Structure 1
Amino acid sequence: MALGTLDRTPPPFFRQGPSALTKLLLFAALALFLMVADARFALVQQARAVLATLLLPVERTLAVPVGLVEEGYVYVQGLKVARAAEEAALKRLATQSLQAARVQQLESENAKLRALLELRPSITARSQAAEVLWEASDPYTRKVIIDRGAKQGVALGAPVVDEHGVLGQVTRLYPLSAEVTLLSDKDAAIPVLNGRTQQRGAAFGGVNNALELRFMAANADVQPGDPILTSGLDGVYPPGLAVATVERIDRQAEGGFARVSLKTAAKMDDVHHLLVLEPISRQLPPRPDPKQDALAASGGPR
């Protein structure tokens, strides 16, 4: 065979096309063009939508095991939390059962002692539920309007409480609504009792949206954390209701009195539902007339 008849072209495997750098630049330019064209003219939006539709069943199928694992983990954790809550509830129930038995025993003893001493029965406060309609428009006061009024049996001066303690009292009465002045108002005041020492005092509002125990001697036995309760001596609030706790004491105040800051038991800034109590003055016997007492002491009219 003559040498001129031989095919000197390289086989396809060894053929050299464009260089790698040329291919890189070409495909980079093509990718850039497609991205710009898609962003400006949404050329591949339909293709993307079709592809997403086709891949959706596959994605959901692949997500099933992951969802099962997550749901199983959540179920196990929830089961642990539920068991812990059940144990805590059983402990609280046992404690409350002991307290209820103790309270029942004390009430029985109290009734026997009152009967022995011929004292009148203890006062029970009647109540009715109410809802806050809106807050008063005056920004310098702490008052709310409730949806119960004179036609529902609300009395002027009636104490108002929530599940935590005393909120305030009714200071203005309308036929179908009433205005409640909160204890944190600057004009609010309430006679109180230190639950630890049984020392009486008066708490006033309007001090940094909290209460202050005024006219306490600088050497008075008051400690942070002392419970402050209603004394019941004003004829308005039933005795023993939670009012506040002692938060801070400043014994260096001027005038020989200590400044005692209190933290209210009720949440004054988050009031929605409350109870309106009947003033205990309605259940007390009428006060004697000083004129009649003086007339009786003098031996009657002459």
Structure 2
Amino acid sequence: MARDRDDQDYLGPLRRIGIAALVLVLAASFLVWRIDSTRVERFRNAFIDRFVPTFDWAMVPVTKALGIVEGFQSYARIVAQNQELRRELQQMKAWKEAAVQLEQQNAKLLAQNQVRLDPKLTSVSGVVLADSGSPFRQSVLLNVGSRDGVVDGWATMDGLGLVGRISGVGRATSRVVLLTDSSSRIPVTIQPSGQHAILTGDNTPFPLLDFLEHPEQVRPGDRVISSGDGGVFPASLLVGQVLQGQDRRLRVRLSADYERLDFLRVLRSHPAEQLRDAGPLIPPAPAEVAAEGGNG
């Protein structure tokens, strides 16, 4: 305790002397720096030339510190720019996705416009709303119905080929039973052999060809079109191509893109007019000729 007290008594006067000396040095430096005299001016210049250039080592920490501060500021700006670029990239991805979807929709609509159909056939296009999602029923919903003149049984196509038929019509919507549905049965013609058959859906992507007259005349790759028999569908609508399944049965690879059914064209078809009276080029029956001869 006594020793600590002696140290404090010894350091106190030294601290006061040091502070006084520092004040005197600073005051003398200030006076020397402010005195307007030729000799003092020469002294100041000599002092600056002698000592100031050697202070570069003392400025190195300051320079490094300023560089570190500027580096942190630059890093903060880079981080902010990076975040802004990420936001812009996310927006660009959204715009790209929207552009791709519009491009696909435009391509499908253009494909529908390029489908070659009987010029007498008219159509109404609709957007696919939903899929039934059932493994036992292959169908989709369209946003067109009775208010658009849609009638039960009409054929539907995408931009490539036949898709199915209307089976159920509401005021604003209608259901399309696809060719792959197990309840679908349509008459088709196989070219170039001209064989007639029934395209039978079995809930697989490749419906069957049934009731072929001469199966040996049919080859994989043959073109399949609607025959128009029975007035179910208009004739000459593209259906697909013949292929042979793993079960060795003849099937059809459908031309319609069932993976992307966005727009469908509903074909307005009307029953063919039935001719009941004989024309003037058809000769009358022999009984009618004998009756007219007797009257003459």
Q: What TM-score does the superposition give when structure 1 sets the normalisation length?
A: 0.51
- Deviation of 1:53 (Å): 5.8
Alignment pair present for 1:275 and 2:265 = yes
Moved over 4 A (4+): 45-48, 53-56
Q: Which amino acid aligns with 1:279?
A: S
Matched with 1:133 is: 129
Structure 2 residue corresponding to 1:208, chosen from 188, 204, 216: 204
Separation in structure 1 between the aligned mates of residue 199 and residue 69 of structure 2, nearest angstrom = 73
Alpha-carbon contact 1:127-1:276 (below 8 Å) kept: yes
Matched with 1:230 is: 226
Separation in structure 1 between the aligned mates of residue 230 and residue 189 of structure 2, nearest angstrom = 12
More helix by share: 2
Q: CA deviation digits over 1:84-137, x for unaligned, max 9?
A: xxxxxxxxxxxxxxxxxxx9xxxxxxxxxxxxxxxxxx8821111111111125
Change over 3 Å in CA distance of 1:270–1:54 after alignment to 2? closer
User: Please, which moves more after superposition, 131-140 or 151-160?
Assistant: 131-140
Separation in structure 2 between the aligned mates of residue 140 and residue 173 of structure 1, nearest angstrom = 20
Alpha-carbon contact 1:237-1:280 (below 8 Å) kept: no
- Deviation of 1:234 (Å): 2.4
Separation in structure 1 between the aligned mates of residue 69 and residue 194 of structure 2, nearest angstrom = 81
Alpha-carbon contact 1:236-1:280 (below 8 Å) kept: no
Larger radius of gyration: 2
Separation in structure 2 between the aligned mates of residue 270 and residue 190 of structure 1, nearest angstrom = 23
Q: Which amino acid aligns with 2:186?
A: I
Unpaired segments of 5 or more residues in structure 1? Answer: 1-44, 57-102, 104-121, 289-302
Q: Which amino acid aligns with 1:179?
A: R
Same amino acid, percent of matched pairs: 23
Separation in structure 2 between the aligned mates of residue 270 and residue 239 of structure 1, nearest angstrom = 25
Matched with 2:239 is: 243
- Deviation of 1:269 (Å): 2.5
Q: CA deviation digits over 1:159-202, x for unaligned, max 9?
A: 00111000000011111111100101111111000121111111
After superposition, the CA RMSD in angstroms is 3.0
Q: Which amino acid aligns with 1:188?
A: S
Change over 3 Å in CA distance of 1:46–1:205 after alignment to 2? farther
Alpha-carbon contact 1:191-1:233 (below 8 Å) kept: yes
Matched ranges for 1:183-202 at <5 A: 183-202=179-198
Alpha-carbon contact 2:147-2:171 (below 8 Å) kept: yes
Change over 3 Å in CA distance of 1:55–1:168 after alignment to 2? closer
Q: Secondary structure at the match of 1:154?
A: coil
Alignment pair present for 1:50 and 2:79 = no
Matched with 1:262 is: 252
Separation in structure 1 between the aligned mates of residue 188 and residue 77 of structure 2, nearest angstrom = 74
- Deviation of 1:142 (Å): 0.9
